[in-house]
Amino acid sequence: MAKSKRAKKGKPSVTVDDKTDSPKATSARTREDSGLVSALSATGMPKGVARTLALLSTAGDWLTSQDIERETRLRQPEVSIAVRELLGRGWLARDAVKVGAKGRPVYTFKMAVDLRQVYDDLRASESERIDAIKGNLDRIRDMWGVK
């Protein structure tokens, strides 16, 4: 697991790989994903759900819960909550992979819909929020008699 070090003013952030103790600069993809996570979080989506969605939207293949934990740096309960939320929205597909003859299956996940559908769902939800806010402001204006 990589440890994060805070960047000093004007310097790129650096992570240190525990296995090799060698520093490596934060990748452009990580910064891009961070921007996506921020944008998704701004819609009211919990950060863990946003991180999981950002990862799965770029993964292209099936990922296990452990893969999601490792890539998003979320703990197992946070991944379970995020996956449950995304499954509930119909955005994820889940498959059970049996490992050995005994024990519980390992669940894998991938996007069940294309990103256009996710975007359309988010846009509709945000539009409803905007309409509710406008309606509330109109009621306040009317109650105060403000023109």
Distance in angstroms (rounded) separating the CA atoms of residues 39 and 6: 22
Over residues 22-61, the pLDDT tens digits come to: 344 444 445 557 899 999 999 999 999 999 999 999 998 9
Any idea which residue has 């256009």 for tokens?
Answer: 116
Q: Give the predicted TM-score (pTM) of the model.
A: 0.74
In the chain, what percentage of residues exceed pLDDT 70? 78
If one counts every other C-beta atom within 10 angstroms of the C-beta of residue 23, the result is: 11
pLDDT greater than 50 at residue 11: no
Max Cα–Cα distance, the chain, nearest Å: 73
Over residues 53-82, the pLDDT tens digits come to: 999 999 989 999 999 999 999 999 999 999
Lowest mean pLDDT among 103-107, 122-126, 134-138: 103-107
Which secondary structure element, helix H or strand E, spans residue 15, and what is its range? strand 14-17
Distance in angstroms (rounded) separating the CA atoms of residues 18 and 139: 57
Distance in angstroms (rounded) separating the CA atoms of residues 109 and 50: 15
Distance in angstroms (rounded) separating the CA atoms of residues 112 and 40: 18
Count of alpha carbons within 13 angstroms of residue 84, beta-carbon side: 6
